A and B are shown apart, each in its own frame.
Chain A
Amino acid sequence: MTVVLDAVSKSFGSVKVLHELSLEVQDGEFLVLLGASGSGKSTALRMIAGLETVSEGRISISGQDVTDALPKNRDVAMVFQSYALYPHKTVAENIGYPLKIRRMNRAEIESQVREVAAQVRIDELLERYPRELSGGQRQRVALARAMVRRPSVFLMDEPLSNLDAKLRGHMRAELKHMQHELGITTIYVTHDQVEAMTLAHRVALLEGGRLQQLAAPKTIYEDPENLFVAQFIGSPPMNVAHGRLDAGTFVIGKDRVVTGGTETVANAVIGLRAEDCQVVPPEDGAIRAQLFANELIGDHTLVTAKVGDDMVSIKAPKEFEAGFDEAIGIAFATDKLYLFDKDTGARIRRT
């Protein structure tokens, strides 16, 4: 089912934490709300769930305006970061609770509970209490409880963040598979970009309560709308160096980089991903830099170097070796570089 947010804003008292957020989530889509802590992701999700009132704008689910509807009438299910399993109910009762409320008869509840429990592979645990489960098992119970009533929308608020790293990776894969199989529209909140990139059909990146970009993971990585998105996505973050853009030539210290465009911008930023750069002898590079540190990380070496006042990271082959403060050159293909206006953060697209 589709979910549409139309210029939704939220204020707590006089503090506005969400600014005219507009989103359109397609039927069956897996949309990830990504953003740093405090960027308003949870607030947006809770407004869709109906747990938070909407200050301005409209929200509709499956074409129906639900802006003022009660949570229970929205037909959405939510998985909480804390899992929110009812401690006084067994696993079976937890999963069956949404059905019980809908006055389904006992036998039917039981069979449906068994069915979803089998789907998430917790059928052995039905008689246990939440306190007797491990983190991963609790996670599955929470999922099962959300799945059991086949809601039109799944909402998940950092559901994996309480798991250890290994289990998180595993659950991520399972979640993705499950969503694909059920085909239920899912809105998923996380601050972890790896989760966002691997899970999402589309990622909505929030910062300071404003939508920065809404696009497929590949697009958001390769074609960021602005400096913030560029720097938020990717590990290590995109390298930036400050300078000025002079009729299509980026001037940084004594180096001049021909970008292929024609713009002139006084305060400009050049962006490059670590894997798009190579370390070369100083005289061969487009930009000269000073080596700051290098770290061997398994299959490659991460070289950190100083360009003017900026630090940049470069992925070099694992054989790379150099001493501290040695001068190096950085080479890259012109079509791999990104340009931004420092003052507005906007991307400067080469014309």
Chain B
Amino acid sequence: MNRSAMQWLFEPPSIRDMAPGTKVIVYAILTFWTAFVLFPIYWVLITSFKSAIDVNSGPVYLPFVDFQPSLHAWKELFVFDFWDTLSAYVNSLIIALSATAASVIIGSMASYALARFEYQPRFGVVFMFVLVMVGAFVAVGRYGVDWRLSCAAGVAVFYFLARALGRHFKARLGNGDILFWMISQRILAPIVVVVPIYMMFQQVSLLDTHIAIILTYTVINLPIVIWLMYDFFTSIPIDLEECAQLDGATRFGVFWDIVLPLSRSGLAATTLLVMILSWNEYLLALFLSTSRAQTMPILVAAMNAGERGILWWSMSVVIIVMIIPVVILAIILQRYISKGLLLGAVKG
């Protein structure tokens, strides 16, 4: 009897169905995880409706039951500080959208190029470039040469060296090397490059502007786009592209009309991921913006307002409103992604 009960519980009744016991366990785990995922969000949400007293005098859980929800934090952000909030929000939108668009377009172009064209840069020329660059740096750092002069001289020297000596180098790099070089840039932690980038923008007076942050975000996300899109591009039948060329399209036309639409599921997933990364980025924004170009994550951190302690309620409001654009984008792109999120991309 015992055995048959066990059997009923855990033996699948049919091939399409699960045994009741297994089912219960599966649902229990999934429900637990749902709670684990949703509870912090719920807590942030209700905290945004709490007054300072509610927060500071121990936990209250249910609005209207435990405590009287109030809109004071929302009012504070959207009525009293409306312009500051709006400016951060708009900054964030401009920066995240532009950086996403730029890195997806530039990254896909490079990725497509590596999938379709053949590159054979000479190893010696690349090496020469590195040498010249280091020389230019030493000139600036050690001997105080003006950086513009040093850059110009470096480019000129490299150009003539490459023209004069380039032909003599035999060893060549291939597409794989370039691809690896580009993707490996993702290994760079932002902290490695942020200080020089800061100084660079300082030199050209672009600190605390949209363009500085957009450029930086674009570059740090390029490797991801190149990595994820490469497999999509190689899997497109080349006949289609050749046919379009004969139909009269330019290379860019082929890319735009044929290649991009055919890889749109990968494109959607990549766009979403890049958007999430640049919308939520904090460290680089902290370095590169001081006031005018402040983004939403900076605003979150700003609610840790020193002498007044942390304004949990206002912070919660910011966190909540920050999710909205991402959710909207996810819903828009969901249609394309639903089947193969990031797949193909990471087929390895």
Contacts and interface: CB of A to CB of B under 8 A. Distances in A.
Interface of A: 49-51, 70-72, 74, 76-78, 80, 82, 84, 86-88, 97-98, 101-102, 145, 149
Interface stretch (B56-64, B70-78, B121-129, B236-244): B236-244
Contacts of B242: 49, 51, 71, 78, 80, 84
A156 to B, nearest CB: 12
B248 A98 contact: yes
Nearest to B239: A84
Nearest to B242: A51
A136 to B, nearest CB: 19
B250 A82 contact: no
Nearest to B264: A88
Contacts, number: 57
Interface of B is mostly: helix
A80 B240 CA distance: 9
A96 B258 CA distance: 14
Given A72-B250, A80-B239, A101-B253, A86 B245 contact: no
Nearest to A80: B239
Contact of B245 (A71, A87, A145, A149): A71
B249 interface: yes
Nearest to B236: A87
A308 B247 CA distance: 56
15 contacts: A49-B242, A51-B242, A71-B246, A72-B247, A77-B246, A78-B242, A78-B243, A82-B239, A86-B240, A86-B243, A86-B262, A87-B240, A88-B264, A102-B248, A149-B248
Interface of B: 237, 239-240, 242-250, 253, 257-258, 261-262, 264
Contacts of A76: 246
Interface of A is mostly: loop
A86 B264 CA distance: 14
Given A80-B243, A97-B244, 4 more contacts: A76-B246, A82-B239, A84-B237, A98-B248
B59 to A, nearest CB: 53
A74 B242 CA distance: 13
A86 B258 contact: yes
A251 to B, nearest CB: 54
A161 B240 CA distance: 18
A51 B245 contact: yes
B245 A98 contact: no
A350 to B, nearest CB: 48
A72 B237 CA distance: 19
A88 B248 CA distance: 18
B244 A86 contact: yes
Contacts of A84: 237, 239-240, 242-243
A25 to B, nearest CB: 18
Among B246, B249, B257, B264, residue most surrounded by chain A Cβ atoms (within 10 Å): B246
Nearest to B249: A101
A70 B254 CA distance: 14
A97 B246 contact: no
Among A76, A77, A88, A102, residue most surrounded by chain B Cβ atoms (within 10 Å): A88
Given A82-B237, A84-B242, A101-B253, A145 B262 contact: no
Among B248, B253, B258, residue most surrounded by chain A Cβ atoms (within 10 Å): B248
Given A86-B258, A88-B261, A88-B262, A101 B247 contact: yes
A101 B237 contact: no
B161 to A, nearest CB: 29
A72 B257 CA distance: 15
For the complex of A and B, list the 7 residue pairs with the smallest distance between their C-beta atoms, beginning with the closest.
A84-B243, A84-B239, A98-B247, A101-B248, A72-B248, A71-B245, A88-B261
Contacts of B245: 50-51, 70-72
